[in-house]
Amino acid sequence: MQGLFYEAESPWLFLFLTVILGGAAAFQTGRAVAQTWRPLWLLLFYSMVIAIAVRFLHYALFQETLISLQFYIVDTLVCLIAASIGYRLARASQMARRYCWAYERHGPFGWRARIAPAPAPETGP
């Protein structure tokens, strides 16, 4: 896996900087984008910016390569996945909470239209 996903000798650097720090920042960014009702495609731009910051941390703290397309793409994909998870969790919660009369939660990442209850049968005299 070394050389494919991360440059350092230890995978712990990749896990800590990219997955935990970069992923947490991207997750919170995804939540913020969803909570402000912005479109999903903005996550790509924000993930690319966060990946630049993650690449810089790899370079500044551990003397890894700053400008590497391969590792930048890996960092961007990790950030994009984390941001998408945060976005969907927040959006599903929003739809079920704000439009409770029309939607209900359907799993952690989704919502569905509420099914109207069947009318009660009339009782005769």
Return the ∠ at Cα 75 (arms to 34 and 36), rounded to 5°: 10
One-letter amino acid for residue 79 of the chain: C
Give residue 3's pLDDT: 64
Nearest to 75 by CA among 48, 106, 105, 110: 48
Q: Retrieve residue 42's tokens.
A: 């903005």
Give residue 1's pLDDT: 55
Nearest to 43 by CA among 62, 61, 25, 67: 25
Give residue 62's pLDDT: 85
Mean pLDDT by 10 residues, the chain (125 residues): 65 88 97 95 96 93 87 94 96 88 82 74 67
Give residue 103's pLDDT: 83
Give residue 8's pLDDT: 65
Distance, C-alpha 7 to centroid of its chain: 24
Give residue 115's pLDDT: 81
